[in-house]
A and B are shown apart, each in its own frame.
Chain A
Amino acid sequence: MSNTGATVDERIKETSKLRKALIRPELGAIVGTVAVFAFFIVFAGDSGMFNPQGVLNWSTVSAQFMIIAVGACMLMIAGEFDLSVGSMIGFAGMSIAIISVTLGWPVWVAILLTFALCIAIGALNGIIVVRTGLPSFIVTLAFLFILRGFTIFFPQLIERRTIIGGISEAAAGDWLAPLFGGKVGGAFFVWLGDLGVIEVFSRGTRAGQPVVDGIPMLIIWALGLVIVAHIILTRTQFGNWIFAAGGDAQAARYVGVPVNRVKIQMFMFTAFCACVFATCQVIEFGSAGADRGLLKEFEAIIAVVIGGALLTGGYGSVVGAALGALIFGVVQQGLFFAGVESSLFRVFLGVILLFAVILNTYIRRIITGER
């Protein structure tokens, strides 16, 4: 049995480049993105979908999905779900509204307190999941109801309404609010407008100004979160722990990975993302409503799955999830531009989801070598 040193196993075929390229979680999403854009360029190319306003529209919607998809993606790779994301969005928005409008505190205080509150609730979700060993599906389902209930109850109790407005007035001059509701690159777009590259408003108080007057902070947040999360996941020790926690928690524990801490932190990160979403929305629209964020948790999970993550954890990609969100946003808005009946969006979504899951299963089989 004395081994004569390493020999190349003659039974392993040289893997082709193509097959190697296939084994990436993002592959499905990349193919999907190309297909979706090709489809809409053909069928909605001249409908306004690709003029500056149209681009801004689907980019903003996609960016919204991206923000919550990044959180859901990291959490799913760590092996857990969070179904309370949608309710958290409604709850966070309402919290900002109540603190700033009803209590009259500065908006930045409202935002910071709300972030603290949401992250604490995320931690609570995580602690309950790791302590009880219950499936996160059930625990966060409970929070879906708890948070939505509070989101309806408190404003009704305090203001006898379920929509609280007046945040725009409260946020005027605030130093933190523009970080969420502001726009960047205004001067650049004015310049483009002057050049005639993009249209300008033809009348009203804003006549002469460009129809697109900047890139919303929402999009900046989305891109920032995607980049940071991607680096953490693929390039750091903590990223390795996230994969390990979701891949096989027990195996990870045996080699000293603090699995519980990692999972709790991912729940907190998901809550953070939901809170970013809510804050951007509240500052942009100036009001919080009890029905904000309905079903957003599923939209986030769908984007993540389209992006190649496995529902069972341990495998996935933030870039894939971001592309999944892009596909989601472009299809949702694009069907309208293409003049398709909006109820058919769900049909499309279902088809894409099925397609993505089948493709992902196929990819996973290649990776694990199982048949």
Chain B
Amino acid sequence: MTTEPIIQMRDIAKHFGPVIALNGVSFDIRPGECHCLLGDNGAGKSTFIKTMAGVHKPTSGEILFGGQQMHFDSPRDAMEAGIATVYQDLAMIPLMSVTRNFWMGREPIRKVGPFKFMDFKTANDVTMAEMRKMGINLRSPDQAVGTLSGGERQTVAIARAVHFGAKVLILDEPTSALGVRQTANVLSTIDRVRKTGIGIVFITHNVRHAMAVGDRFTVLNRGKTLGTAARGEITPEALQDLMAGGQEMAALEGSLGGTV
């Protein structure tokens, strides 16, 4: 771990009125690593990454980007700085074509006299090429995203983030709704992207998925960090226990005969 972190989040707290969603969370992400964020439902994972992505403003704490203090006023600011986020359900628009989705918000422009048109030829070619790099062969760039599988949709979103020069890629539960094969595809995509030097924040409930690609693991519980461990420093069982708050899980495990 010699490289400097791209983003450092220090003592982040976030309150929604009376609800304390985050209560002092610290976290950092370095280039080319996959940092897994684990935790039970309601632990505050989504809230935390939304703070990183500029959707929420932290109640207190600071965000350092490349060593500099940063304030993101909107998701757009964060995106411009190189933080791309892929949300499980809100990533893609099913009725629109893959190309239109891929370029949404940053369409290539072709000028004809005073008029600006969208450059569909470039857009289609780049989309096809980027998707091929991720290991997906599209029938046609006009294909509606609705006809893609869940894993393929995630891949389009990831490919989009990578293409637009993300330095940090945040994936919020990208595998939660996927079957075995599709999960494998997404995990291999994560692996491929990490090798290009992009830092990845990977949120999941599933310890096995985390173990497959993670370099470091941070566990959140009730808005607080329980700790960060590097790969090899912690066993899957220990991680599982941490997530569920240790004690109860052990008890439950006993009563279920060690099946969990």
Which residues of A line the B interface, CB within 8 A?
1-3, 5-9, 12, 15, 235-237, 239-241, 243-244, 247-248, 250-257, 310, 314-315, 364, 367-370
- Complex Cα distance, B54 from A254, in Å, reads 10
Interface residue stretch chosen among B2-10, B26-34, B134-142? B134-142
SS class, residues of chain A in contact with chain B: loop
Q: Let me know if B96 and A314 touch, CB within 8 A.
A: yes
Contacts of B96 in A (CB 8 A): 243-244, 247, 314
Contacts of B106 in A (CB 8 A): 255-256
Q: Let me know if A6 and B118 touch, CB within 8 A.
A: no
24 contacts between A and B (CB under 8 A): A1-B184, A1-B191, A12-B139, A235-B118, A237-B118, A240-B100, A240-B104, A240-B118, A243-B96, A243-B100, A244-B93, A247-B93, A247-B94, A248-B92, A251-B92, A251-B93, A254-B90, A256-B76, A257-B104, A314-B93, A315-B95, A367-B147, A368-B146, A369-B146
Q: Which residue of chain A lies nearest to B133 when distances are taken between CB atoms in the complex?
A: A6
Task: Give 16 A-B pairs besides A235-B117, A237-B107 with Cβ atoms closer than 8 angstroms.
Answer: A1-B188, A7-B137, A244-B93, A244-B96, A244-B104, A251-B87, A251-B90, A254-B75, A254-B90, A254-B91, A256-B76, A314-B95, A314-B96, A364-B95, A368-B146, A369-B144
Residue B243 CB within 8 A of the other chain: no
Residue B105 CB within 8 A of the other chain: yes
Residue B109 CB within 8 A of the other chain: yes
- Complex Cα distance, B159 from A6, in Å, reads 14
Q: Let me know if B93 and A252 touch, CB within 8 A.
A: yes
- Complex Cα distance, B105 from A303, in Å, reads 30
Q: Let me know if A237 and B75 touch, CB within 8 A.
A: no
Contacts of A253 in B (CB 8 A): 75
Most interface-central of A7, A251, A310, A314 (chain B CB within 10 A): A251
- Complex Cα distance, B249 from A41, in Å, reads 77
Q: Let me know if B95 and A6 touch, CB within 8 A.
A: no
- Complex Cα distance, B117 from A239, in Å, reads 10
Q: Let me know if B95 and A255 touch, CB within 8 A.
A: no
Nearest chain B CB to A265's CB is how many angstroms away? 16
The number of residue pairs between A and B whose CB atoms lie closer than 8 Å in the complex comes to 102
SS class, residues of chain B in contact with chain A: mixed
Nearest chain A CB to B253's CB is how many angstroms away? 29
Contacts of A247 in B (CB 8 A): 93-96
Residue B79 CB within 8 A of the other chain: yes
Q: Let me know if A248 and B135 touch, CB within 8 A.
A: no
A8-B137, A368-B144 known; A236-B104 Cβ under 8 A:
no
- Complex Cα distance, B190 from A326, in Å, reads 51
Contacts of B92 in A (CB 8 A): 248, 251
**Of A237, A241, A250, A368, which contacts B95 at CB under 8 A?**
A368
Shortest Cβ-Cβ A-B pairs, 4 listed: A368-B146, A247-B93, A237-B107, A255-B105
Q: Let me know if A370 and B85 touch, CB within 8 A.
A: no
**Of B90, B107, B146, which contacts A240 at CB under 8 A?**
B107
Contacts of B184 in A (CB 8 A): 1
Nearest chain B CB to A305's CB is how many angstroms away? 16
Q: Which residue of chain B lies nearest to A8 when distances are taken between CB atoms in the complex?
A: B137
Residue B132 CB within 8 A of the other chain: yes
Nearest chain A CB to B76's CB is how many angstroms away? 5
Residue B72 CB within 8 A of the other chain: no
Contacts of A254 in B (CB 8 A): 75, 85, 87, 90-91
Q: Which residue of chain B lies nearest to A365 when distances are taken between CB atoms in the complex?
A: B146
A9-B137, A243-B100 known; A256-B105 Cβ under 8 A:
yes
- Complex Cα distance, B75 from A250, in Å, reads 12
Most interface-central of B104, B146, B184 (chain A CB within 10 A): B104
A239-B118, A314-B93 known; A6-B132 Cβ under 8 A:
yes
- Complex Cα distance, B211 from A246, in Å, reads 39
Contacts of B118 in A (CB 8 A): 235-237, 239-240
Residue B103 CB within 8 A of the other chain: yes
